[in-house]
Structure 1
Amino acid sequence: MSVGNVSFIKDFVIVGFPGLQPHYYGLVSALLFFVYVRSLQKPVYYFIINLVVCDVLFSTTTLPKIISRYWFQDGTISFMGCFLQMFFVHYFDSVTARLLAVMAIDRYAAICLSLRHHIMTNRNVFILILGSWLLGLIGPLMMIIRADPLPYCASNTIVHCYCDHIAITTPACTDREEYSYPAFIHAMIVLLGSLAVIVFSYCAIIVAVLRISSAQGRMKTFSTCSPQLIIIALFFLPRCFNYLSSNINIKFSTDLRLVIIMMNSLLPPMINPLIYCLRTDEVKKVLIRKLQRKKIDIKSGKT
């Protein structure tokens, strides 16, 4: 493909989407809650803490520019700033996918291999979490190295709410396939590989749960796993659809695409704190105890 009339752009203009200003106060509150309450400092909650950290950092990476776009009508972002944002967007996504897979393995070991679950010590959990953070660096670095030499002819407008690989490579005035396919393959390996581990783990868990004779025992096990299943669905389904639709040329309106991106990126950080805190029995018990204690303190203060 001819690459005539190439220009060297200094910044990108983000289109964004109207009327959506997400907040991450709930995420920070959830993080402080898990760190503060010692009874929740167990391996399974270490995974949740790291997921909350990923959500907070993702929101911190994307939220300032979204607010700037709508509060101050400033949708521009520097060329290097856009690439840096792309790196962190894909990095936190990659880490989250791996953490969810490792969490599913932990639940599988706890329910199906209960006699061997003792191997999930704090040290081993730390190694698994650290591995998730380190392995997540590979893909985003590859995307930046591959996308950096792309030429841009005229348009520097990104039909997106932040910079990611698809948004940055689309305006390029050259054949983007050789740049987009390696990134697409890596994304599918991370997403579908993690999802395969999760599906296997939870299928095994469901089979094990159905063998429990007590209905109360089955309900307790399902209630333990349900928060993670909701988080998994919110994370994987929109992302897989977004990557597949962009790479197999499914055509739909820009507004619909931006709504899908919103579901993909901003809905989970807003909903996850409620799932972490209100769909987990142990967390609910701690919250109830603390609220009752506050109520008693208020009553004793009045008398």
Structure 2
Amino acid sequence: MSILNSSALRPSSLILIGIPGLESYHIWFAAPLSIIYIATVLGNVMLLLAITTVLKLQKPMYIFISQLAFSDLVLSTCAVPKMLDIFWYNSREIQLSACITQMFFIHLMLVFESSILTAMSFDRYVAVCNPLRYHSILTHALIAKLSALSLLRAIVVIVPLPLLTLRLSFCSRCIAHSFCTNMAMTKISCADITVNNVYAMFVSLFLGPVDIICIALSYSLIVRLVLRLPHKDARLKTFSTCSSHISVMSALYVPFFFGTLLTLFPNRIPVHVHILVANTYLIVPPLINPLIYGLTVKEVRQSMYLLLQNCKNRIRLWASSRVWR
């Protein structure tokens, strides 16, 4: 593979290395990643169909879950197909415009998911602490406003990243990563990247902690109320209503902040470890979110089961009609 180097250049395409240091093992990553991606798409599509087609699931919590499923689909589809292209076929070239577009949508969906999880913590707070006014507080109009605000916040915050990247010149075409990120692209730049780094630091260290503080505040109020309940069974039942949300939050935030922590030690930890951790918080949450909600939320589980049964019956009818023909 030829690597183009010069004092400053604006190439029309870039080269994604994949997982530096583990290039010979790419083919071994390809098969499980393909299975994970297929399961991710099927799981999130089923979750979306179950929520959008069943009237009893037209409730605030399930609407937020459907938005998570949609963002998970976009997030995984932005990154995984190109990763599979690299791992299966060693096709590493990507157009500069496509790389910047991929970077934009990946960061956009991560911020959007964090915002939706924050809104869901407010939903859980109202459901536990003020259940009698739940439907009067969380109206469809308020949910629409919260969702629009979450998306608008993500767009406003992330749009500067591709704009700052577009002004850069590059000393190399090779990105030591399996997908395009702001940090990976600034590393191959010849220009002054101070503004890029400062803004990326602001996004990482300000937005995430702000969302976590809001979520922690909601759950502190929930815990305070739950501990006042006289019966243990009532406390456990109340806590169980929040278990799926807590699991989804853990799946998103724990790998993300572990990866952020690793960036503080860039020279002590191998590059491939950084890349594998980054891949984890991009691949794992979209896979396990539909599993968590499909297994732990009774209404969603029943709706997904009915959806599978309907698909199975339709396939049988189609197959029998083909046989009679």
**Could you state the TM-score of these two structures normalised by the residue count of structure 1?**
0.88
5+ residue gaps, structure 2:
1-5, 20-25, 313-325
| Residues 1:80 and 1:124: Cα distance change in structure 2 (over 3 Å) | same
- Aligned-partner SS, 1:13: strand
Instruction: Kindly report which structure 2 residues correspond to 1:31-42, keeping only aligned pairs within 5 A, or say none.
Output: 31-42=48-59
Query: What's the secondary structure of 1:173's corresponding residue?
Result: coil
The CA distance in 1 between the partners of 2:164 and 2:310, in whole Å, is: 56
Distance 1:28 1:150, change over 3 A: same
The equivalent of 1:209 in structure 2 is 226
Deviation at 1:116, TM superposition (A): 3.9
- Count matched residues: 291
Q: Residue 320 of structure 2 corresponds to which residue in structure 1? A: none
Aligned partner (choices 14, 17, 20) of residue 15 of structure 1: 17
Does 2:69 correspond to 1:52? Answer: yes
Are residues 125 and 11 of structure 1, via their aligned partners in 2, closer, same or farther at CA, if it must alter by over 3 Å? Answer: same
Letter in 1 for 2:153: L
Map 1:1-303 to 2 at 5 A: 5-17=7-19, 18=26, 19=29, 20-21=33-34, 22-23=36-37, 24-117=41-134, 118-153=136-171, 155-246=172-263, 249=266, 251-286=268-303
Distance in 2 (CA, whole Å) between partners of 1:79 and 1:259 is 23
**8 Å Cα contact 1:224-1:281 kept in structure 2:** no
Deviation at 1:290, TM superposition (A): 7.5
Q: Please report how far the alpha carbon of residue 166 of structure 1 lies from its aligned counterpart in structure 2 after TM superposition.
A: 1.1
Contact 1:184 1:247 in 2 (8 A): no
Instruction: Say which SS state the counterpart of residue 263 (structure 2) adopts.
Output: helix
1:143 offset after TM fit, Å? 0.7
Task: For 1:143, give the aligned amino acid.
Answer: L
Q: Partner amino acid for 1:8?
A: R
SS in 1 for 2:15: strand
Is the alpha carbon distance of 1:73 and 1:109 closer, same or farther for their aligned partners in structure 2, counting shifts above 3 Å? same
Q: Residues 11 and 135 (structure 1 numbering): CA distance in 2 closer, same or farther, change over 3 Å? A: same
For 1:268 and 1:52, the matched residues in 2 are separated by 10
- For the aligned residues, what is the CA RMSD? 2.3
Distance 1:290 1:144, change over 3 A: closer
**C-alpha distance in structure 1 between counterparts of 2:240 and 2:142, whole Å:** 26
Q: 1-side partners of 2:267 and 2:114: how far apart? A: 24
More divergent stretch after superposition (280-289 vs 100-109): 280-289
Contact 2:7 2:190 in 1 (8 A): no
Matched letter for residue 11 of structure 1: S
Partner of 1:301: none
- Counterpart Cα distance in 1 of 2:139 and 2:76: 31
User: Which secondary structure state, in structure 1, belongs to the residue aligned with residue 97 of structure 2?
Assistant: helix
CA deviation after TM superposition for structure 1 residue 131, in Å = 1.1
Deviations 1:88-121 (A, max 9, x none): 0111111101000011011111212334432111
Segment of structure 1 superposing worse, 235-244 or 68-77:
235-244
Task: Give the TM-score, by structure 2 length.
Answer: 0.83
Structure 1: 5+ residue stretches without partners: 296-303
Q: In structure 2, what is the equivalent of residue 300 of structure 1?
A: none
